[in-house]
Structure 1
Amino acid sequence: MLPILFLLAAGDTTGYWQQQVAYRITASLDEPSGVLTGHVRISYVNRSPDALHDFYVHQYLNAFRPGSRWAAVDSAEQRDRFQHLKDPDYAFERIRRATVMGESRLPDYPYAPDSTIAHWALPRPLAPGDSLVVEIDWQARLSTLPRRQGRQGRRFDFAQWYPKVVVYDKYGWEDHPLYPAGEFYGEFATYEVTLDLPEDQVIGATGVPVEGDPGWAHAKADPALEID
């Protein structure tokens, strides 16, 4: 009985798959304006059994501005935190240029006026096992109101700050706008990131520095420190 159950369980795992994603990002911060300007090259391998006809990315920072689903929910619950923010206090993430499968095309926004989901119809289907490259030039700015991101003075809390590939799983594309009660869901991926920041900025991030000084030598934590 036990060996049979084990074989059944093992057989279930053979059908598992997940998409293969790699990001190569270069970005620079203009500190006075708070605007981050970046370029990302996304390499994507379709490991699913399905031919894909679309491609989606999250633009999460667009939740923290007027017109978003997040702002609408806040207003409905009488928490007008983002709906009435004015420039330059609201966040944004704007795609300036994009190339998909070698063709230049800007995305559409299926949930407009919310712009947390960007969509492209692919020039041709992406068959199982095939790959594509998407290149995006974008600009982003944080909100002065801190909610999962924010900026104050010289502090910039960038989270989900780049065009992030939407998960495609056994249920299809998980292309949902970001709501206050929502949570992030992303593909596992590899990252190669180059940041151009003022020399005295300390970067808080995961990863292994390969060149340059993120300032970590001056911002070490004491593991023996006790906090009541």
Structure 2
Amino acid sequence: MKILCALMIVVGTPLLGFSQTGYWQQEVHYNIKVALNDKQHSLKGDLSVDYINHSPDTLTFIWFHLWPNAYKNKNTALAKQLVVLNESKNPLSGDKKKTEATEPGFIDSLKFVVNGQTVSTENDTANIDMIKVILPQPLLPGKQVTVATPFFVKLPNYYSRSGYSGQQFFVCQWYPKPAVYDNTGWHQMPYLDQGEFYSEYGSFKVNITVPSEYVVGATGSLQTKAELDRYKQIGIENNKGVKSALYKTTTPGKSKTLQYVGDRILDFAWFAAKDFVIRYDTLQMADNNTIDVFSYGQTGGNKTWKNSTSYIKDAVRHYSNWIGQYPYPVVQAVEGPKNQSSGGMEYPMITLITSPNAKEEEMDAVITHEVGHNWFMGILGSNEREHAWMDEGINSYFQFRYEAEKYRSNSLFGNMIPKEVKELDVKDFQARIYEVLNSIPAKQPINTASAAFSNNEDYGIVEYVKTAVWLYIIENTIGRDTLDKGIQSYYKDWQFKHPSPEDLKKELEAASGKNLDAIFALLDKEGKLL
């Protein structure tokens, strides 16, 4: 989740054959049909998910997330957390987040069947956004079941990543989703605003039905050729810098169904609006593969959004060069409405950006950070709730590197960097930046779970900034080239899997030939790292 801007004021492919000895992970394949009612702000859908048990354990139930219920009332984990975060918020740091919706959200009309057989469920006693689906027969290791259910979702007014704003829809955390089961057991976690996700990999086939006037941006590749061709045509025209061309339906008052597919991904989000300004470009990758680059902007949005596809492309180029090749056929960004209730949020192949006042360098940095989450979260699927630093902090290190190389800037400082510092070479510039970043008070250890922070500011400083400082220490200990070699090996060995801190340590030690116990011990250090 994008929190760096808020900190400025402070300063169907099977996933079999795992190479790691004894390593396993579960596998899921979704088939979802969903229809949007833009008058009632609701969704009606049908879910079918093939769940494959690669664990050595026999399962008698599967936990499912019902995250739309997090928006239902004042007693959910989300609502309670937002109250605490608001009470602890520095009044100078910006508007407080909403603690509840004026229109609550929820999910209902569920009727789970497993392999065609109606089954019983058990509600979680503590969280209404979790449910246990009881299997009619034990699921043995290596076996598969198909779990299906209809569902109805009432979307809240937009806050904390999801909902609607006028006739724009930000559909995130919206479908019943199996929780992760790994070698430590089930991870049945409630939805939180501060604290992100942990999800199983698999494939998605999603049919989205909307009124024909709407433009849709979604995870995955759009399979509806006529719609895709129109998006590209309009997007090319808008990227020429002429007066914005808007999507016009040829069938007003009717509906249309768009199909999206995606493989080796762990979530699916989609966004719909009648007045999205589509921009389109392509990016040639090193393996001679061309990927589609889309952005969806607001008609009265930030003027710097005109450069959005250029920023997306540059981010993908840099991260592919530093870490490993971008593996998906499309990359996209959506400009959110003019509020910052959710900050911004990344999903596979698409990200929401909410930076209505960002200047060009800052907008580039924000887009790069969010697109970068395709690597650190999307491809390297760590447990974000327990180890937020493994996605947010490592990603921030590479974002800071991008800003330093391209602009001699850092978005945490805005225009406060002295002219003489901006004239330094990249190495010296970053040394000065990190010297200041290390001085920012950061009491909690990096290894603090995201939900254990009492406010957003401490969470951002520790998980984003302190972690970037920590990785910079590693860079100076083993050398940037060696660090890059280790990160590239980490990416190669752990892509589309669930790496742990120990897995990252082993990769960096193998690349450097050094024992990094002392540096990794800094993850548990309070206060300054140096």
Question: Would you call these one fold, judging by a TM-score over 0.5?
Answer: yes
Taking a change above 3 Å as real, the CA distance of residues 39 and 162 of structure 1, as seen in their structure-2 partners, is same
Report the Cα offset of residue 207 of structure 1: 1.4
CA drift at 1:95: 4.0
Change (3 A) 1:108 1:216: farther
The Cα shift of 1:76 comes to 4.5
Q: Which residue of 1 aligns with 2:125?
A: 111
- What does residue 4 of structure 1 align with? none
The runs of at least 4 aligned residues of structure 1 exceeding 6 Å deviation read: none
Alignment: residue pair count: 214
Alpha-carbon separation, structure 2, partners of 1:108 and 1:189: 25
The alignment partner of 2:192 has SS state of: coil
Q: 2:231 aligns to what?
A: 216
Which residue of the partner structure matches residue 186 of structure 1? Answer: 199
3-state DSSP of counterpart to 2:83 = helix
Are the counterparts in 1 of residues 121 and 133 from structure 2 also a CA contact under 8 Å? yes
Alignment deviations for residues 4-63 of structure 1 (CA, whole Å, 9 cap, x no partner):
xxxxxxxx8121111121000001011100110000111011000000011111111211
The corresponding residue for 1:227 is 360
Alpha-carbon RMSD? 2.4
Q: Following the alignment from structure 2 to structure 1, what is the Cα–Cα distance between the partners of residues 58 and 139?
A: 5
Give the secondary structure class of the aligned counterpart of 1:44: strand
Q: CA deviation at 1:145?
A: 4.0
1:45 and 2:45 matched: no
Q: Please state how far the C-alpha of 1:71 moved relative to its aligned partner.
A: 1.0
Deviations 1:173-202 (A, max 9, x none): 111212332211100110111111011211
1:65 touches 1:82 (CA, 8 Å); kept in 2? no
What is the letter of the counterpart of residue 74 of structure 1? L
Instruction: State the one-letter code of the partner of 2:45.
Output: G
Match of 1:41, SS? strand
Q: 1:111 to 1:182 in 2, by over 3 A?
A: farther
> Corresponding residue for 1:91?
105
Amino acid at match of 1:216: Y
Structure 1 residues 116-135: aligned runs within 5 Å: 116-135=129-148
Whichever structure has more strand as a proportion of its residues is 1
Counterpart pick for 2:152 among 133, 136, 139:
139
How much identity, in percent, do the aligned residues show? 29
Residue of structure 1 equivalent to 2:98: 81
If you compute each CA radius of gyration, which structure gives the higher value, 1 or 2?
A: 2
The amino acid across from 1:134 in the alignment is V
| Alignment partner of 1:69 out of 70, 74, 77 | 77
Q: Secondary structure of the equivalent of 2:47?
A: strand
Rounded Cα–Cα distance in structure 2 between residues aligned with 1:42 and 1:75? 35
8 Å Cα contact 2:112-2:133 kept in structure 1: no
Residue number among 5, 8, 28 corresponding to 1:21 in the alignment: 28
SS in 2 for 1:128: coil
Q: Is the 8 A contact 1:43 1:132 kept in 2?
A: yes
Larger relative contact order, structure 1 or 2 (CA cutoff 8 Å, min sep 6): 1
1:111–1:177 CA contact under 8 A, matched in 2: no
Pick the aligned partner of 1:100 from 114, 122, 127: 114
Aligned position for 1:3: none
Q: 1:180 to 1:147 in 2, by over 3 A?
A: closer
Q: Report how far residue 74 of structure 1 moved.
A: 2.7
1:82 positional shift: 3.8
User: 1:140 and 1:18, CA in 2 relative to 1: closer, same or farther beyond 3 A?
Assistant: same
TM-fit CA distance, 1:210: 1.7
Output the CA distance in 2 between the equivalents of 1:106 and 1:205: 33
Q: Please give the alpha-carbon distance, in whole angstroms, between the structure 2 residues aligned to 1:96 and 1:206.
A: 24
- Cα distance in 1 for residues equivalent to 2:69 and 2:134: 21
Q: Which moved more, 1:16-25 or 1:70-79?
A: 70-79
CA–CA separation in structure 1 for the residues paired with 2:139 and 2:50:
13
The whole-number CA distance in structure 2 between the counterparts of 1:194 and 1:127 is 31
* Unmatched 5+ stretches in structure 1: 1-11
Q: Distance in 1 between matches of 2:51 and 2:124?
A: 22
Distance in 1 between the 2:191 and 2:182 partners?
18
Query: Which whole-Å CA distance do the structure 1 matches of 2:20 and 2:110 have between them?
Result: 41
**Matched residue SS, 1:203:** strand
Structure 2 unaligned blocks of 5 or more: 1-18, 88-95, 235-277, 281-306, 312-358, 362-530
